[in-house]
Structure 1
Amino acid sequence: MVGRRKNKADQWLPPRVYRGKSRYEYRPSSGETIKLGFRPKDGIESEQVKAQVWADYAKAKDAPVAVNDVNKLISEFHSSAQFIRLSANTQTDYNHYCKRIRRVFGHMSPRDITKVNVRDFMDALGNQGKVVTANRHKSYLSALLSWGAERGWLEQNPAFGVKPFKEVARDRYVEDWEFELVQRVARESAYPYVAPMMDFAYLCRARTIELRALTEADITAEGIYLRRTKGSISEITGWSDRLVSAVKEARSVYPDAPVSIDRPLFHGKKGAPIPASSFKTAWGRIMRRALDSGLTERFTFHDLKAKGVSDHKDKASGHRSKKMQAVYNRRPDMITPTR
């Protein structure tokens, strides 16, 4: 049963139909707003106007209802200009995180998500020991819902104010023998380009994404020019015998690949860049074989940057903050005694 309108002048309007700025608007329980006909400019709502509004209402009411759920919000967000402006690395992460968010929240209306829902989602992952996973998914969900709130999908972001889990910084230090064992396995694998990449990660204290972006043009007379990501300071790492050997090895992996100044230093058989997913697969297989060959504890490729920072005489990492430099220094500093 439809309730009576407070304003008697509105009694003729169909259920859930209201006057917008220039048009009549039908607002079904699904939360969307469906535009009907234009309101008369002179403000006179004649019987003909009223009849047309009722006709438009009947069509809108019988039309399939658009489902404005989280699945649709994700599709809209990932097609937005804001998403396109994100770095390629962030886009890749978001495309990964959205899969779990779809499974958990996809069928829900964004308006129905509460802080308790977000907390329960994080706790479920945290109870499985996936603290970092929980935090990263919460960050993505918050970015998604903030974007939606600014565009009328919901009133306010329920993920805002939900506390992330405290993360413990990695302290895995890769010993020299472990490095050498895994590098040997890499040279004997189907992914020999990983071996010189390991040297670069260590010598230049570099991330995987930075190494995959290196080109022949970045090999200069002074050294290797590294464009650092995540706000770190780009720099040139001067030449050493080991770095010279690493460049020669990288170039020798696929010697028949086309050569150009903008060709990636680390590339596939035809000179194409190595996708992040392909590198991840390669590293996973190399690590599994290394564990079968005497490695006692696995480590990440990113741990090689930390090893490079830890072994560097100045602990140089490219980070602007002392806090981040400390995160990557995984060996105790040598301090002279008081006397």
Structure 2
Amino acid sequence: MRTTNNKQADKALRESETKYRLIFENSPLGIFHFDKNGIVTECNESLLKILGLPKEEVIGFNMEISLRDENMRLALEAVLARKSGQYEGEYSPTTSTKITPIKADFSPNISEDGSLQGGICIIEDITKRKRAEDALQRYAEELANANEELKSLDRMKDEFLSNVSHELKTPLTCIKGYGQILSDETLGSVNDQQKKTVDTIMRNSERLRRLVDSLLYISKVQAGTIEYVFEPVQIAEITDYVVADMLPQVKEKDLTIEKYVPDSLPSINGDKDKLTDLLVNLVDNSIKFTPSGGRITVTAQEEEDNLHISVEDTGIGIPKELISNLFQRFYQIDASIRRRYGGTGVGLYISKNIVEAHNGKIWVESEEGGGTTVHVNLPK
């Protein structure tokens, strides 16, 4: 019985050795054995290909004495101390100038009686991985440089917008001032044709003022210098002013504007000038995108803890899938929209910033061809 068991054990051992030999010889990884003195005793063909060395220079190589790479020496010393060792780096054998990025795993070979027989090392050529890592690193650096350039360009653009906006303020004020003098007939009477011309100058200078103010607002937002002055304000008063102010534009496009804002609405804590800009932007958008003969409706009502303001129009509407993009800076639905209707695409971006500064909420309901309603909730 014992003889049979021994034969079975011998057979299993031979089969195991055969399997290991097949793995050893056919593995794409480099494998070598070394004794307890660090001398290489056996290696496979893959190791020779990875290191670019003939077999006679590998077998018998004394790693403990001849290793030049300090990190690999530490990995070997770990094995000789009965521990595992790892190495990763660019390895160059002492007898070759070839440099190969490798990853090496060292393991001790301990016999059944506990004595150290030496060790085994498995080496992987990581040249492709290192190239990919280097390429990724270069790409990351290029991306970081490009990002810094974009930030610099963005700062330059903001500075340019701010400077140009400030420079436009002076001549614009002058144009409006002299236009007002002509309109008031301070320098003498004007006929009806001249009156229409002056009104056109005043109306367009006011549009230009709003554009300049929008650019200045964006510059201040980007610079973090925007300031709000909060005080009790009446929404009814603000809407009265905005509707009256926008009436010339409404008439010019042959539109109708209706206002349903009770004077009895409670006051809210807000910045009067900024809330005026908010409503001007919303009404201006409605005017811009509503065809001749259309209607704009401005309403406000009290709802629990909020005042709900809405600006509704019978304009061209917006595709539902694009509504979420409307509050982005300089966003236009497409390039043709800007060419056909004008504008810079900053009105809703500014409006959103103003509403959020008042701890409110703004959203849009629209349907292509079915008009648009912009809703604003402001806390009381």
Same fold (TM over 0.5): no
- The normalised TM-score by structure 2 is 0.27
Greater strand share, structure number:
2
Greater helix share, structure number:
2
Tell me: higher relative CO, structure 1 or 2? Use CA pairs within 8 A at least 6 residues apart.
1
Whose Rg is larger? Answer: 2
